[in-house]
Structure 1
Amino acid sequence: MGADQAAPGNPMMEGTELLAASRRFASESRARSTWYVLSTFALLTGACLIAATAPWWPVRVVASVTQGLLIVRAFILAHDFQHGAILRRSRWGKALFTVFGLLVLTPARAWRQTHNYHHANTAKIVGAQIGSYPVMTVEMWRRASKGRRFAYAAVRHPLNILFGYLTIFLFGMCLSSFVRKPKENYDSLLALVLHVGLVVGLSWFFGFDVALLALVLPLFVACALGGYLFYAQHNFPDIHIQPRQTWNFQRAAVESSSYMRCGPVMSFFTGDIGLHHVHHLNAAIPFYRLREAMAAIPALQVPPATSLHPRDIAACLRLKLWDPVAEQMVPFPAEATPSG
C-alpha cells in the first residue's frame, strides 16, 4: 500500500496501518486525567453521602441511582488505568483504583487476567468466553448436550445481565475466580469479604436503608448497566465474526466491537466506552481522546452501531448464536431452553 494510502484521512486504511494511525492518540494529558479522576470520585462520594443521609426518600433513591451511574464512570477510569491509558505509573492512581476495584467487586488481578485475554481474542468462537459472554455457532448449538445448552443460554439470558451484581460480579468475578486460583486471586476473596462486611456493618450501625441505598442499589445499577454494555459491545445485529483460522486483530476491533450512540449524559456516565471499536483498536487511547481519534480517522467513522434505545436493547438481547453461512448473529432455534 502506497504512502498516500497510509495517511490518517484515508477511509480504506486497514490492518497495521490503521493501528499505526491510532497511536498518535495514545498519549494522555496528566492534568486532564487527574481532573477527571478527582472530579468523578468527588461526585461519587457526594452522591453516596446524599443517598445515605438525605431526609427525603425520593432524593435518596435518585442519589443512589446516580451513584450507580457514577460507579460505571469511575470503573471506566479504573479500566483505562489498567490499560495504561491514564495515570501511567502513578502510585496514588494504583492505590485508588485497587481500593475501588475491591469495593465494586472487580478485584484487579481477576479483572486484568480476563480482560487482557478478552482484548487479545475478541470475536473468536473458541476461547472467547474468557472475560466475555460465550459465543456458539448454530452448528455447535445443534451438537451440544442439553446441559451445555442450558448453561450457555443461562449465561446469555437477560436476567443474568440484570442481576449481574450477584451472578457476574459477586459469584463470577469474586467467588469463582478465587475458587479457581486461590493463591493468585486472593484479592477476589478480599473483595467478597469486604463487601459482605460493609453490608452487615452499615446495616448494623446505620440501618438497612443506608446499606441498601448507599451500597447495594448503586452496585445493582452499576453491575446491570456494565453487564449490558459489555454484552452489546460484542453482541449486536451488524457484528462480523471472522473464522478463527483467518482472524485478524484490527478487523476484529472495527467489525466485532460496536459503536454505541449515546447522548451527552450517558456519554459522561459511560466514559465514552460506547466508542468501543476505537478502544479495541488501541486500548492505550485515554477515554477522553476516543472521539478525537474517531473524528480524525475516517475508517473508524462507519462502525456497526447500536444504542441504549429500548428497541436496540431488545434487538441485541435476541441475538444468541453466530450463523457463519448467513454471517450474522441469530436468535436461538424455537426449541431453545430457557427462552430469552
Structure 2
Amino acid sequence: MASATRSSDAAPLKEGKHITQNGDVFELPTYTMKMIHDAIPAHCFQPSILRSMAYVVRDYFYVAALCYAASYIEYIPNAYARGAAWAAYSVLQGFVFTGIWILAHECGHGAFSKNKRLNNIMGLIMHSFLLVPFHSWRISHSAHHKATGNIDKDTAFVPHVRESWVKSYRGQEAEVESVELSHLAEDAPIVTLWVCIKHQLFGWPGYLFANLTGQKYDKGVPQISHFYFGQDSALFKKEQLPLIMLSDAGVAAMIALLVVGGQMVGSWNMVLYYMIPYLWVNHWIVAITFLQHTDGSLPHYDNNTWNFARGATATIDRDLGFIDTHLFHDIIGTHVCHHLVSTIPFYHAGEASDAIRKVMGTHYRADRATPFMWAFWKNQRACKFVEESVEGSGVYFYRNLHGVGEPPRDLTGGKAGEVAELIKEKKETTATGGVAAASQAKRRLSHSAQMTAKALPILVAE
C-alpha cells in the first residue's frame, strides 16, 4: 500500500532517510509525467458527451424519484417511523446531491466533454443547484491541482507546519518549545468529535466564504471569499471577476427558487427535502477531500523540492464500495489518477489507474482496507501538522505531539523524558493528594527538567 519499505523490515537506517508518520522509509519519486501519459490507453482521454449527459439525467432522476417517495412520508402514522423515513431520505438524497456535485467537478476539469462551453453551462447549472459558485470554485480548484502537495502554494487542505499549529491551537503567544509533551497536545476524543462535527457541517461553506484550510493571505473577508468580485480580491484576477459575478448570480437564482419553493410547499418541507440533504453534501465533500490528501504515508513539499509529478501523487485512493463507484462516480477510488491527469473522465479513470500503477510502483498509495469513516477519525487524531523529516530537505510528513506514529523532533533539549515523568507523577499525586510524594518526585528529577516543566503552564498547575 505505502510507497516505502517498513523500517522494521529494512537494514538499519542511515542518517538522512525520510521517515513517514507510519514509520516507513520514503524515497522521492523519479518518474516523469511523460511516463505517466504514455502508460495510459489513448481512449481514456476521450470523454463522451452522450455518456456524460446520461449520468446527469440519471442522477436528477434519482433526485426526483426520492422526492416523490418522500412525499408519502407524511402519511406514515407513527411519528418515530416518520422520523426514520426522513432520516433515510436525507442520507440517500445527500448521496445523490454529492454525485451531482462531482459531475459539476468533471465539468470544471474539462472531463465532462471536449466542448468548453457545454462544460461551463452544465457546471454552472449543477453547482448552482448546490449553492456552489461554479467559476469561483473552478478557478481556485485549478490552482489546487497546479500546486498539490506544495505547502507554499497549494490552495486546499494546506497543512499546518509545527509552529502555525501550536499558535493556532494554543494561542499566538505560545512558544513551540513549550508544548512538546504528549499530555499538552493530546486532544480528548470528545474534543476531536466536536471539531469533526464543526468541520463536517460548516467546513465547505467556510472554505467558500472565508478560504478555510487554504493558503493564508494578508487580506481577510470579504477579499478571500469565493463570492467576492471586487478588484482587490485575493483569489481572483481582474479579468476573472465577471465569471465570479456570473457564479454569484447562479447561486442567487437558486436561493430565490428555494424561497419560492418554501412559500409554495412550506419552509419546513423545504428544509426536509433540500436543506438537510445539502448538509450531507457538506459532510461528504469535506470528508472525501480531507482523506484524499491526509494520511500518515503522504509527503508534502516546499516550493524548492516540489514538482508536479511529486505533488500530484501526494494523494491516496480509498474505498467506499457501491456508494463511491455508483453514486460518487469513483472519485474516492481513483483520485491519484485524477490528480495526475484531471481531464480523464471518471468512467475511464479505473482503467487509467490500473495503467499508471505500473509506472508508479510502490509510490502508488491506496488504503482500501481501512473503513472510510474510521480512516477519517484516525487521521483527524494523528495528522496534526507537518514537519521536515530531514531538516533542510523540503520534504514534510505528518506528525503529532501525543505519541501516535513517528515522533516529531524533540525541541526540549533532551529533557522530554524527564519532564514527562515529572508530569505523570505530579498528576498522580494531585489525584491522591500526596504532597510529600510530589516533593520526592521533584527531588528525583534534575533541576533543568523541573524548569522545563514549569514552562508548560497548560500542563502543569504549580
Contact 1:322 1:328 in 2 (8 A): yes
- 1:11-160 equivalent positions in 2, closer than 5 A: 14-16=31-33, 17-22=35-40, 24=42, 25-52=44-71, 54-55=73-74, 56=76, 57=82, 58-89=84-115, 94-128=120-154, 130=155, 132-141=156-165, 146=171, 157-158=195-196, 159-160=198-199
User: Share of identical aligned residues, percent?
Assistant: 22
Superposition deviation, residue 221 in structure 1: 0.2
Relative to structure 1, the CA distance from residue 243 to residue 93 in structure 2 (aligned partners, 3 Å threshold; closer, same or farther) is closer
Contact 1:107 1:191 in 2 (8 A): yes
Contact 2:107 2:122 in 1 (8 A): no
Distance 1:34 1:43 in 2: 14
| One-letter code aligned to 1:305 | A
Equivalent residue, structure 2, for 1:3: none
Q: Please give the per-residue CA displacement for 1:169-211, whole angstroms capped at 9, x wherever unaligned.
A: 5665997222363744223533553454344333332123321
Relative to structure 1, the CA distance from residue 196 to residue 82 in structure 2 (aligned partners, 3 Å threshold; closer, same or farther) is closer
Q: Tell whether 2:376 aligns with 1:305.
A: no
Q: Please give the per-residue CA displacement for 1:103-145, whole angstroms capped at 9, x wherever unaligned.
A: 21222211111100000010111132x2x12222224545779
- 1:196-215 equivalent positions in 2, closer than 5 A: 196-215=255-274
Relative to structure 1, the CA distance from residue 147 to residue 114 in structure 2 (aligned partners, 3 Å threshold; closer, same or farther) is farther
Distance 1:40 1:98 in 2: 16
Out of 295, 301, 318, the position equivalent to 1:260 is 318
Aligned Cα root-mean-square deviation (Å) = 3.4
Contact 2:132 2:251 in 1 (8 A): no
Equivalent residue, structure 2, for 1:178: 227
Q: Return the index of the structure with the highest Cα Rg.
A: 2
Contact 1:165 1:220 in 2 (8 A): no
220-229 or 35-44, which deviates more: 35-44
More helix by share: 1
Q: Please give the per-residue CA displacement for 1:135-169, whole angstroms capped at 9, x wherever unaligned.
A: 222245457793599xxxxxx94222333364345
Superposition deviation, residue 226 in structure 1: 0.7
Q: Tell whether 2:384 aligns with 1:315.
A: no
Equivalent residue, structure 1, for 2:201: 162
TM-score, structure 1 as length reference: 0.80
Q: Tell whether 2:281 aligns with 1:281.
A: no
SS in 1 for 2:300: coil
Superposition deviation, residue 80 in structure 1: 1.1
TM-score, structure 2 as length reference: 0.61
Q: Which runs of 5+ in 1 are unaligned?
A: 1-11, 150-155
Contact 1:177 1:188 in 2 (8 A): no
Distance 2:89 2:361 in 1: 36
Superposition deviation, residue 292 in structure 1: 0.6
SS in 1 for 2:298: coil
Q: Which runs of 5+ in 2 are unaligned?
A: 1-28, 77-81, 175-193, 213-220, 232-240, 391-395, 404-455
